Structure 1
Amino acid sequence: MSSQEPQPTSLYPELDEATLTQVVEALETGSTGQLAPARVTEVREARARADFAKVTVPGAGGVGLDGGLWLHRDDRPRPLIVMPSPWVNLGWVVYAVQATLFALKGYHVLAYTARGFGASEGEVEVAGPEDVEDGTAAIDFAEGRARGAISGVGFLGDSYGSGISQLVAAEDTRVDAVVALSTWGDLGEAFYENGTRHLAAVSTLLGAAAEARLSERTRQAFEDVLTNPDVQPSLDWALPRSPHHHVGKINGRGVPILYANAWHETLFPGNQTLKMFNALTGPKRLLLSIGDHSGPESPGIIGLPNRIWADAHRWFDHHLKDVANGIDTEGQVVSQIMWNGPVEEQPTWGAVTGHTERLYLSGPSNGGDGTLADKPGLDTDVVFRSGADTPATVANKIIFSGYAEMAGLPKDYPTEEIDRAHAGVWSTVPLPVAMKLRGVPRLRLTYTADGPPPTLIAHLFDVDADGGAHIITHAPFTDVEGTTGQPVTLDIALQATGYNVAAGHRVMLVLDTFDPFYGSAPVVGTTITVSPSEEDPSYLELPVS
């Protein structure tokens, strides 16, 4: 990603809107001429079993919410699935295929467009109190129209709808299970990490909501993250919109929650979702995949085979219909490793990491890069200057890089082009055996800035014999105290990773001061000195399977 590239105008760049719209039209009219054979069968069977109608759900404050309702005709008790829309103007239509599939399995389904988007009235409040009330109103609406009793309620949301789903579950005791895809746990941490603003993420959200009607407070919160180093007002705004803030209520009822996120998620980086996942005490499951926001589950949105949506169906079948499908006895964490790689299963998140290996940062010998080794080495300094961009970046382009990675085309990084005058670089020797990284790496080092302190961005790379590299993970750090001329200890968690470094490759740590993904401190020319210390050695701690 470079500062010159435009931000995506959709969080779903490969979404087939035409197919989804045609499915809705076929559900209404019965005309299936434009649909693929599989969709034709689904629509015909759904129309034979249930009534479909476009509806307006009366939301909080009388706001009308555009929706689609699948209701079975008999009066037997049935479970209900409510699906709040993602952050797209297409709204609930995104769920047309999957909602139909749920209806075919005997569920009543109500999908609706969140306020402020598409044909729904009102303004976007970003999972605010009004959105939670809308979720409750949606249950009321469906209960009032079902011929029989509602035997259980599940909420499923992708992206924006996933946060709303968790928050409704915290407040409405009728919610019995949740599926949250490409979700967040702590919205404040998703916007602001280690004192550093996530500019690209917020810019992308604003761009994708260009046709939506954002409330004044929502727009102000986003603009503050983009322009104001004092983000405390935005963090205060984000707190009640964070499921982690309400985890006590969710745990009090033991609501089962299924999460799905991407390893290289750029909108809602994984660690803040992991914080929420690890805080849950009820039934839970976490699906991790290669890619970026909403990419891994996108094929399933139009009905293609997809393990994430398959698990969503199994989750509701078990927790809403008491189907003994084994999902309650399987591992809590299921993760795809690398692009087109295997899927691994672990009983808990704690079991994902087998042990940690500490690599010490040592200074260079003969003017080369610093080293990462299992013992402290040379105590020479690594020195570089702030203010210049380098080829070390989080992603080539937010969201799109994730789609390329899913296709087996991860971004290539030319490590030899990283200007060592503007970056600190440390690397291992070629690994004698493969290293399986599973979990959250940590970086601890001490540095001194001789001028206004810059932002530091740590990038961890897998480097082959020719110097080509792929990114493993990353994290930013900004010294909000503004320390000048005195040592500062940086101790941060990098974003969780599942990555295999091949034998013969090197692990490389690159520390620079600018990345268009982040709101870097606008500091040019400050010299940063990383000094090894026998008393408090700098190190990179890697989680190894």
Structure 2
Amino acid sequence: MTTSLYPELDEAALAQIVSALESGNTSGLAPARAEEVTQARTAARFRLVRVPGAEGVELDGALWVQSGDTPAPVVVMPAPWADLGWVAYAAQATQLAAKGYNVLAYTPRGFGKSGGEVEVAGPLDVQDGTAAVDFVLENLPAADTNQIGFLGDSYGSGISLLVAAADPRVKAVGALSTWGSLFEAFHENDTAHTASVDALRGAARNARLSERTEWAFGQVRNGESPSDELREWASERSPLTYIDQLNQQNVPIFFAHAWHETLFPVNQTLELFERLTTPKRLDLSIGDHSSPEMTGLIGLPNRIWTDAHHWLGHHLKGETNGITESQVVSEIMWGKALESHQDWYSAVGAPAGFHLTGPAAGGVDGGLADKPANGWSTTVSTGTDTPATVADAIIKTGYAEMLGKPKTYPTGQIDRTHAAVWTGEPLTETAKVRGTPSLRLAFQPSAADTTFIAYLFDAAPDNSASIITHAPFTVRGATPGEPAVADIRLQAAGYDAPARHRLMLVVDTEDPFYRDANEAGSAITFSSTEGSPSRLEIPLA
């Protein structure tokens, strides 16, 4: 069971920062942290607070109040999904205070020392965010009421977006590792993302989940077809639902996301980003949920937090810091080069089509060709996992990726009775995958309910591989034996596959990240016909 969404977070070091803020004794801090605390204490007064939230619930928090009478901008920081609550922001809030901001960091209801129950960014959490703004304005006479921003990581980012949609006083948002559609994050292509719910429940083991939250998590966990009630629950908690309000209020929003995000996969956040007409920026990085910005949480230099500070500085303080020069900045797997583009459309490559073919004479795997080759079929049995998986572990695999050690997949060990494999010819030059690959796959299920997962790999000459992207797919209530077609959008990727490597598509029926709908003893036949050609489309720069 996952016990933390922040396995590398040094809680003791953050507690030391809080202690130094209260006492002024910085002797136990690293020199850089000691200097930041000293600067913050010179610029602002620090104190612990209880924030009156909705329905009489009190929220645990901390306040950095700028000295003097000159109005100063405000940053409100709802905490991540973690027991330590607002303390996770001790370093970042201190840095912001040293830069001249009034800062309120608070723990959402149900976590840590806050009252109430966890509502997963529900209406009460939004009311709490608005109440937090009220609290700041009532207690800080020198707060600039026209320059209020929200900045949050993970859970705090979703709350920030929802509050911004509801409260016109919010003039800028920083949303790191956020979500656009909670339903799409939990039920991608009608496939229950049980690993996400398990991770959230594990990380909230000491929190107080509301009865409604327990119900919703249970609905996802059982893997059944989602009810309308669950869709409504998720919609109410999804920033995409409030896209018109965000656009009408023209709230400038900064996003940061990881390519291999396993908690809130990137496509649903990209949809939110694309539909916004407000000033916006997106930083995409190697790693998994919150891992690219982790070093910044403990105060170390970090590109994402630096950009978030610049975003707030530009939109709340009028600073000229170059932050709007590019709207999309991508860190490319695995070379870590940064690419800058004015928008997502400019970042995406041109579609290149690869037709799925049957195996060559004497072969087992199909091919990826530039011309159609129909009339073949291959059958796989369900119920057995293969080495083709999303990751070894939610979040933790992303840390290894950041260190340049992506998971290695032994493609030769993928059992072809339980997986279908198509491999392209060796690349003559680097294949720059930029955007959202898509797959059209003709199939014939032997059972009414069927799940399969498509993985796109970069296979090296030694047959080891790295994952580029993936997506699950589930169909329910099909007619056994009847041909069908799946149109699947894989998760977006920024990836360079080197020359002499091969692109490899693998489709199997089990993955520990998802609850499959396969019936025991069932099988799936994949094929390609003139009427239903199977085709992989990859955007290549």
TMscore range, shorter length = over 0.9
Where does residue 216 of structure 1 map in the other structure?
211
Matched residue type, 1:44: T
- What SS does structure 2 have at the residue aligned with 1:350? helix
RMSD of equivalent CA atoms: 1.0
> Does residue 1:58 correspond to 2:30, yes or no?
no
CA distance in 2, matches of 1:123, 1:450: 45
CA distance in 2, matches of 1:402, 1:378: 38
Where does residue 486 of structure 1 map in the other structure?
482
Report deviation, 1:44.
Answer: 1.2
Where does residue 535 of structure 2 map in the other structure?
539
Q: Deviations over 1:220-279 (max 9, x none)?
A: 100111015032222221101000000100000110000000000000000000010001
Where does residue 124 of structure 1 map in the other structure?
118
Write the mapping of 1:24-423 to structure 2, written as runs, cut at 5 A. 24-150=18-144, 151-232=146-227, 233-328=229-324, 330-339=325-334, 341-365=336-360, 366-377=362-373, 379-423=375-419
Find runs of 4+ consecutive structure 1 residues off by over 4 angstroms: none
TM-score between both structures, scaled by the size of structure 1: 0.97
CA distance in 2, matches of 1:250, 1:416: 49
Write the mapping of 1:439-478 to structure 2, written as runs, cut at 5 A. 439-478=435-474
Where does residue 521 of structure 2 map in the other structure?
525
| 1:384–1:420 contact (8 Å) kept in structure 2 | yes
TM-score between both structures, scaled by the size of structure 2: 0.98
Matched residue type, 2:98: L
| 1:339–1:407 contact (8 Å) kept in structure 2 | no
CA distance in 2, matches of 1:84, 1:499: 33
- What SS does structure 1 have at the residue aligned with 2:376? coil
Q: Deviations over 1:199-221 (max 9, x none)?
A: 11111100000000000000110
Matched residue type, 1:472: I
| 1:388–1:524 contact (8 Å) kept in structure 2 | no
- Aligned-pair identity (%): 57
CA distance in 2, matches of 1:226, 1:146: 45
CA distance in 2, matches of 1:386, 1:341: 37
- What SS does structure 1 have at the residue aligned with 2:274? helix
| 2:451–2:517 contact (8 Å) kept in structure 1 | yes
Q: Deviations over 1:43-92 (max 9, x none)?
A: 11211121000000000111110001000121111110000000001000
CA distance in 1, matches of 2:198, 2:78: 23
Q: Deviations over 1:140-191 (max 9, x none)?
A: 1111111324241000010000000000000101000000000000000000
Report deviation, 1:378.
Answer: 5.4
CA distance in 2, matches of 1:359, 1:27: 59
> Does residue 1:14 correspond to 2:12, yes or no?
no
| 1:84–1:161 contact (8 Å) kept in structure 2 | yes
CA distance in 2, matches of 1:63, 1:181: 26
Where does residue 4 of structure 1 map in the other structure?
none
CA distance in 1, matches of 2:533, 2:37: 64
| 1:358–1:541 contact (8 Å) kept in structure 2 | yes
**Please, which runs of 5 or more residues in structure 2 have no aligned partner?**
none
Where does residue 3 of structure 1 map in the other structure?
none
CA distance in 2, matches of 1:415, 1:28: 55
Matched residue type, 1:135: G
CA distance in 2, matches of 1:137, 1:427: 56
Write the mapping of 1:506-525 to structure 2, written as runs, cut at 5 A. 506-525=502-521
CA distance in 1, matches of 2:195, 2:235: 21
Residue 426 of structure 2 is aligned with which of 427, 430, 436? Answer: 430
CA distance in 2, matches of 1:136, 1:77: 20
- What SS does structure 1 have at the residue aligned with 2:444? strand
Matched residue type, 2:462: D
Report deviation, 1:446.
Answer: 0.7
Report deviation, 1:450.
Answer: 2.3
**Please, which runs of 5 or more residues in structure 1 have no aligned partner?**
1-6
| 1:181–1:260 contact (8 Å) kept in structure 2 | yes
Q: Deviations over 1:377-414 (max 9, x none)?
A: 25321221111110000001111000011111110100
Residue 499 of structure 2 is aligned with which of 499, 503, 507? Answer: 503
CA distance in 1, matches of 2:67, 2:326: 37
Matched residue type, 1:36: A
Matched residue type, 2:34: V
CA distance in 2, matches of 1:529, 1:207: 37
Higher mean C-alpha deviation, range 13-22 or range 225-234: 225-234
Matched residue type, 2:427: L
Q: Deviations over 1:90-145 (max 9, x none)?
A: 00000001101101111000000000000000000011111011111111111111
| 1:416–1:467 contact (8 Å) kept in structure 2 | yes
Report deviation, 1:338.
Answer: 1.1
| 1:364–1:382 contact (8 Å) kept in structure 2 | no
Matched residue type, 2:109: R
- What SS does structure 2 have at the residue aligned with 1:126? coil
